[in-house]
Structure 1
Amino acid sequence: MKPLYLPFADGQWRMAMGLKPLQLQHWIEIDEDFAKELNYKDKLHREQYSDVFGCLPESEAGQQEVLELILEHLLQYFPNYYQQQDDHIVNKVTNQIWNLRDFTKNSLDLAGRLVQEDLCLMQRNDSEYILTAGSVCFPARWRLSEKLGRPLMQIHDPVPGYAQKLEQPVNKFFDRLKPEFPGYRLNWGIVDSPELFLTQPHGCAAFGEDITAENAGEKLWLRVERQTLRRLPKSGGILFTIRTYVYALKSIVRDRQIASQLAAVIQQIPQEMQIYKNILPIKSPLLTYLQQLTAF
């Protein structure tokens, strides 16, 4: 069953990391969309490989460690889904069979095909953490090719207020993160499509031109990312996972309290962040829609 994550449920907008401790048994999540999403990943890899996977040569050892950790986790916690037969990994649900020897140079590629999460490998280079490898099939308005090889600050440069409010806390967290204490956080946005491979840019002026208070429930979706961070014990890199959930807005706001909480948070978001998140173009009809739901 798909879990329901509502990061705005306290009705407060915050520009903060919002990290919480992660129990390792809950690191990877599987739900009823497992087969559909993995088959979609397979399609993207076949048709748009350079868009969904990339790596730098120095990432090879880190990639291998990620694959080992994920395989160990999947075989322990999801034995009904996965089986290892010598050098072959079998997905019992999709009937996919992967040969480990085919991925000796790009182990993160295979790791990303096994789970619904997207995977980003961050490795320290002098004083900065660099994105050295990524398997990203379900991006939220960004492209892996534009981020690969860049440090944290450049990756987050488009985010309003990141340099002032989050750069130092994020850097400190990365420096202090220990293998035995992983963490997770939630990120969210409102989108006009249930598409998982979403490359439409942030701050798009044409976004939501057809959204009205009457059709907002039908044409908008809540998109939530469950992001985890885990230090790799051998190579010292950090694995950043992104699990994307998309919920039809109309199904979420059937609960009047949730509708009220979402409206309260949207009204608190600074304008520059509204622009970045593509909320400003739909703010008026969206708020009218939510307020109509809570008026009775």
Structure 2
Amino acid sequence: MTPDAPRYTPYDKGRFQLTLGIRAIDPAEWIEFDSHYTAHLAEKRRLLAERPTEVFGATDGSLPAQTECLDMLLESLERTRPDMVELGGRTVHVVATGDRYEREAFAARPLDLAGRLVQEDLCLMAPHDGTYRLIAASLCFPSRWRLADKLGRPMVEIHQPVPGFNDKLARPVDRFFDRIEAGQVYMRLNWSVMDDPALFQPTGHGQSGINNAITAANAGDMLWLRVERQTFRRLPKSNALVFGIKTIVDPLSSLVGRPEVARGLNEAITDMPADTRRYKSMAPFADALAGWLDRAAVSPSD
């Protein structure tokens, strides 16, 4: 059976552009739910139980922003998705999973509770010396970065390994963050192709060599499209920003029967700078991926 079509295909135009690519969205669309909701929340619970220091962290002084983020999230969910999360006094009930949380149990780390209610990872960025600094995060699904390496650091240090970011995007990002007003929500998409469907991937950038197990014949089942739906929202009291990251993983085979999208992905990867392809660890399967996409890009009428 052919997998469902990917909801987001930011590569389908056949270009790779290191740009912000940000658009405003309705605040009601800030948090997104899909059919993987219960599975993602279960994985979050597992990671928080087994690897708590790797997936949650907060700096001193971040408690007011954490509390404000939880309050804003609960208000938003109560207004837009009361079928998913119910509030009863100081108890938060996740309808789909049956989980019930007492707010008092998370008084010292309210962002932890916020992260347990939604598929999004939630990172708090606070103004600091003309830029923004990561002050707290519930980060269960990192795309090859470790929270411990980034917590407390400013944007320029956080993105130091990303080819071209500090040269081209650091200042535009700071300016954009400064312009976000309370009540506004913005979204952008980030994407990659990976040889591992795991949601929790704290390492893995810069892999080289060839993975002979992946071929042009089986790449559809061995590779995955990983898209991050990133959102940005201001906390009006603390002035911090909530950076939300919803991770969506689809098998490459979801492009079967969608030749225009497969062609766009192939062209976008070809258009991608070599240092970016290395950073995204595409080298081990680059030839296999290109071969598979070449076939998938041929429409039945060709």
Deviation at 1:76, TM superposition (A): 1.1
1:138 aligns with: 141
Deviation at 1:86, TM superposition (A): 1.1
1:164 aligns with: 167
| Distance in 2 of aligned mates of 1:5 and 1:206 | 30
| Distance in 1 of aligned mates of 2:91 and 2:130 | 38
Deviation at 1:121, TM superposition (A): 0.2
Would the aligned equivalents of 2:6 and 2:254 in 1 still touch at CA under 8 Å? no
Aligned match for 2:89, one of 86, 100, 123: 86
Does residue 1:236 correspond to 2:233, yes or no?
Answer: no
1:32 aligns with: 35
Superposition CA RMSD, Å: 1.5
Check 1:290–1:59 CA distance in 2 against 1; reply closer, same or farther (3 A cut): same
Aligned match for 1:275, one of 260, 264, 278: 278
Higher mean C-alpha deviation, range 74-83 or range 185-194: 74-83
Deviation at 1:163, TM superposition (A): 1.5
Deviation at 1:209, TM superposition (A): 4.5
Deviation at 1:168, TM superposition (A): 1.1
Would the aligned equivalents of 1:140 and 1:199 in 2 still touch at CA under 8 Å? yes
Check 1:235–1:208 CA distance in 2 against 1; reply closer, same or farther (3 A cut): farther
Deviation at 1:143, TM superposition (A): 0.9
| Distance in 1 of aligned mates of 2:181 and 2:56 | 27
Deviation at 1:53, TM superposition (A): 0.2
Aligned match for 1:226, one of 226, 229, 245: 229
| Distance in 2 of aligned mates of 1:64 and 1:50 | 20
Deviation at 1:12, TM superposition (A): 1.4
| Distance in 2 of aligned mates of 1:126 and 1:79 | 39
| Distance in 2 of aligned mates of 1:2 and 1:253 | 9
After superposition, the C-alpha distances for 1:113-172 in whole angstroms (9 at most, x for unaligned) are 010000000011232311000000111011111110110010000000111111111111
Structure 2: gaps of 5 or more residues: none
- Correspondence list, 1:1-296, <5 A: 4-205=7-208, 208-295=211-298, 296=302
Higher mean C-alpha deviation, range 192-201 or range 39-48: 192-201
After superposition, the C-alpha distances for 1:78-122 in whole angstroms (9 at most, x for unaligned) are 111111111110111101010101111211000000100000000
Structure 1: gaps of 5 or more residues: none
| Distance in 2 of aligned mates of 1:43 and 1:263 | 36
Would the aligned equivalents of 1:2 and 1:31 in 2 still touch at CA under 8 Å? no
After superposition, the C-alpha distances for 1:257-293 in whole angstroms (9 at most, x for unaligned) are 1111111111100000010111233222211111122
| Distance in 2 of aligned mates of 1:202 and 1:248 | 20
Would the aligned equivalents of 1:191 and 1:221 in 2 still touch at CA under 8 Å? yes
| Distance in 1 of aligned mates of 2:242 and 2:283 | 33
After superposition, the C-alpha distances for 1:6-37 in whole angstroms (9 at most, x for unaligned) are 00121111010100012101000111111111
- Percent identity, aligned pairs only, is 40
| Distance in 2 of aligned mates of 1:14 and 1:41 | 32
**1:146 aligned partner, one-letter code:** D
| Distance in 1 of aligned mates of 2:204 and 2:221 | 22
Would the aligned equivalents of 1:225 and 1:242 in 2 still touch at CA under 8 Å? yes
With the length of structure 2 as denominator, give the TM-score of the two structures: 0.94
**1:277 aligned partner, one-letter code:** K
